[in-house]
Structure 1
Amino acid sequence: MSNPPMYGELLPLDREVHKNLKLDTEQPVVGRVADQNSVFLAAVEFADACKEYPIVFVRAGNVAAEAKPAVAPLAVLGLRAGSNLFVDGDRWTGNYAPAYVRRYPFVMARLDDSSNNLAVCYDSKWPAFNETTGEALFKDGEPTEFLLNAKSFLENFEQEAERTRLICNLLVEMELLQDMRFEATLPNGEKFDVEGFLALDEKKYAELPDAKVLELHRNGLIALIEMHRLSMTNMNRLVAKYAV
C-alpha cells in the first residue's frame, strides 16, 4: 500500500485494534501540505478552485488496456518544487481548500494491488492520533458518528475522483490537451520556467465539429473546460505572491 503525498504511514482502521484511538482535531493539518506545490483536484471542485488556483493536467500512467495516457487535474499552489504559497504556518490562506487536503488524516486505500475493496485508513505517523484526547473513532465496538462522517466524506471523494477520471479520459480521447510551459519573471527579475503540465489545446478546441461541441455541452464538459481556461490567469497571480 503506497502512501500518497501528505501521508506518512497508512494503516487500515480496525475496530478491535483501534478501539481506544482518538483524533485531536485541534492540531492543524495544513503544515502537512506546506511542501506540496500542487494537489489533486476533482472536477466538482473546479468552480471554487478556478477563482484562486491555476488548474492544470498531468500525465498519470496509462488508461487500462489502452495505449493512451491517463491524466489527472491538479490545483497549482506554487510555481517551485516544495513551495506552497497558500500555507502560512498553521493557516491555509486561500479561500478554498481542496478536498484532497481536507480529507487528511484519513484516506480510502486498497489493502493490496489485487483487491478492489477500499478500506478506511489513517496516517499512523500523525501525532494527533492518541488514546486520551480528542474525537473517539470507535465506541462499544462500533464506529462513532465522527468516524462515520469522515467515511462518508472519503466515499464521496472517491466517487468524484472516479467521475473526474472518466472526464479526463474523454479529454484525452478527443486530444484536447497539449504540453504547455509557463515562463515567469519574479519581481526581483529572476526568471524560471514551469513545465511538465498539460492544458487545453486552443486550436483543436476551436476546430471541434458542432456535434462534438454539443456533446461536450450536454455532458457538462464545456463548463469545466471554461473553468480551466479561466483558472490559467491565476498563474500570474502566483508570480505576484512571491513578492509578498
Structure 2
Amino acid sequence: MFENVVALDSKVHADHRLKRSNSFAFAKNVLGAPLAMSEITKASREYPIFFPTSGRFLPVAQMGYRKDGNLYLDKENQWSARYIPAHIRRFPFVMGEKKELGEYLIMIVKDRISTNADGEVLFKDGSIPTGGAVDRARTFLTDFQKELINTEALLKPLQDADILVPKVYKVEEGGKLLGTVTDLQVVDAEKLAALDDVTLAAWVRSGLMGVIMAHLQSLDNWNSQKSLSVSKSPGD
C-alpha cells in the first residue's frame, strides 16, 4: 500500500496537486490493518480482530487469507464494510521516519500526485495551506500515531499476562482448503477468567477489558468472512 512513497517538499512539489480517486484498489493486497483503541468497537462489528505474534503489539483487523484477497472490496473496488480502518483511510499519506528528534516526515504515494492532476494543491506560496489536503493529512497522521502509541501502552499488561494462545485460521469450501492465516494470537477465555480480581478490576478501569471483549466478540466474524470467500475464490 505504501511501497512507492516520497517525502513531501514545498519546493519539489510546489506545483503538484493531489489526484482525485474514490477507488480502494490500492488496498487489494491489504489483509490486515492495525487498530487504535478508538476504532476497536466499530471494527469488531465487521472484522475478526487478532493480535500479532511479532512486530508492534496492536490489534489487527483481518481482511482476508490470500494475496490480492481483501474480502472487503467489491467488483468496483469500493469498500463493502460499514467501517473503514484509519490505516486504510490515511492513504495516500503516511508518516515517515523521524527527520530530527520529535519530528516526522509527511510522505505520500508517488503516483497519487502530479503537476497535471485536478485535485487540491499540496502547497501554496511555499507553505501548507490551512485546512488543505496536506494540513488535514498531517493532523490525521499525528493523531493516529499518538493513538497507536497509547494503544500499545494500554495492551502491555495483556501481552505480559500469558493469556494469549496461537490461532490458525483456515478457510475451507466443500472440503477444499482455500487458504490459511497463521502468526495470530487470541485471548484464551479460560485463562482470562482465571486471573485474580485485582488484575481484572484494573483492566476494567483502564479500558483494556473493553478491548478484550470486543476482540473476543469479533471472532464470530470468521463466519461472515467464510461466506465472503465463497464468491471470491482464487482466480477471481
Superposed CA RMSD in Å reads: 1.8
Deviation at 1:111, TM superposition (A): 4.8
What secondary structure is seen at the aligned counterpart in 1 of 2:57? Answer: strand
Query: Aligned match of 1:78 in 55, 58, 64?
Result: 64
Query: Aligned match of 1:171 in 155, 158, 170?
Result: 158
What secondary structure is seen at the aligned counterpart in 1 of 2:154? Answer: helix
User: Does 2:205 correspond to 1:218?
Assistant: yes
User: Does 2:104 correspond to 1:118?
Assistant: yes
Over residues 134-172 of structure 1, what are the superposed CA-to-partner deviations in whole Å (9 max), with x where a residue is unaligned? 100111111022221111111111011111211232211
Task: Please tell me whether the aligned partners of residues 79 and 238 of structure 1 are also in contact (alpha carbons under 8 angstroms).
Answer: no
Distance 2:37 2:186 in 1: 15
Structure 2, unmatched stretches of 5+, are: 232-236
Query: Aligned match of 1:58 in 47, 52, 55?
Result: 52
What secondary structure is seen at the aligned counterpart in 2 of 1:143? Answer: coil
Deviation at 1:131, TM superposition (A): 1.4
User: Does 2:115 correspond to 1:131?
Assistant: yes
Deviation at 1:98, TM superposition (A): 0.7
**Change beyond 3 A, Cα 1:118–1:29:** farther
Distance 2:15 2:23 in 1: 22
Greater displacement, 50-59 / 191-200: 191-200
What secondary structure is seen at the aligned counterpart in 2 of 1:136? Answer: coil
Match of 1:36 in 2: 30
Greater displacement, 134-143 / 191-200: 191-200
**Change beyond 3 A, Cα 1:229–1:175:** same
Match of 1:3 in 2: none
Distance 2:230 2:199 in 1: 43
Match of 2:234 in 1: none
Greater displacement, 219-228 / 137-146: 137-146
Query: Aligned match of 2:125 in 128, 131, 140?
Result: 140
- Compare the two structures and name the one with the higher strand fraction: 1
Match of 1:201 in 2: 188
Aligned residues: 226
Q: Percent identity?
A: 28
What secondary structure is seen at the aligned counterpart in 2 of 1:122? Answer: strand
Query: Aligned match of 1:10 in 5, 12, 19?
Result: 5
What secondary structure is seen at the aligned counterpart in 2 of 1:142? Answer: coil
Task: Please tell me whether the aligned partners of residues 110 and 116 of structure 1 are also in contact (alpha carbons under 8 angstroms).
Answer: no
Structure 1, unmatched stretches of 5+, are: 1-5, 62-69
**Change beyond 3 A, Cα 1:110–1:29:** farther
Task: Please tell me whether the aligned partners of residues 87 and 93 of structure 1 are also in contact (alpha carbons under 8 angstroms).
Answer: yes
* TM-score normalized with structure 2 length: 0.89
Task: Please tell me whether the aligned partners of residues 178 and 199 of structure 1 are also in contact (alpha carbons under 8 angstroms).
Answer: yes
Match of 2:149 in 1: 162
Query: Aligned match of 1:46 in 23, 32, 40?
Result: 40
Deviation at 1:29, TM superposition (A): 4.5
